[in-house]
Structure 1
């Protein structure tokens, strides 16, 4: 089975679109479905079966509103420093790294919870 990731992306005009990625193949669409359809056509798979999990990126029991807000703040600061050729302060980078790791663990926990619900 082919693994596909679908990511939201922002365009220059402030709108959103989606990028579907499978290995070294990728496609972009106005919706996640369009991106997936275009990628499936590129892959040439006549039968495509998948379990799709659509994450709303809303705060939940695994990653709180405060954590999301702080992660967003630090990511914006990281982008600003990168764009001017500097780096975050060591404390800020450590906090950012910790939040990214925490969100990754939260995503894993969400997935496990979904699998448990589906298998019941």
Structure 2
């Protein structure tokens, strides 16, 4: 992968590490600030569900980081493509079901990174 593609993949990996932390460890404390349209009592009732989602985001970050560590550029691009598509699909689903803002925070950056990977 090229430098720009690698930087974008790395930034998206960092974003998903943050989401992992947020959903696994800060859901009840920061969740109401991030999702103000949801009832505050929802966060305590969904803490284990959010933790599970956070774990999945951690796996996405791990896959993206793995793609940056692969020496073969073609193989690295394939792995990055798979995980970026997973991120984009998850972002689309989140935009439809939770908050439209997720489209711009998750799906658009994944799409830009995909484009950079494919153009390399």
Which category of TM-score, normalised to the shorter sequence, fits these structures?
A: 0.3 to 0.5
Higher relative contact order (CA 8 A, sep 6+): 2
When normalised by structure 1's length, the TM-score is 0.33
Whichever structure has more helix as a proportion of its residues is 2
Structure 1 or 2, whichever has the larger Rg, is 1
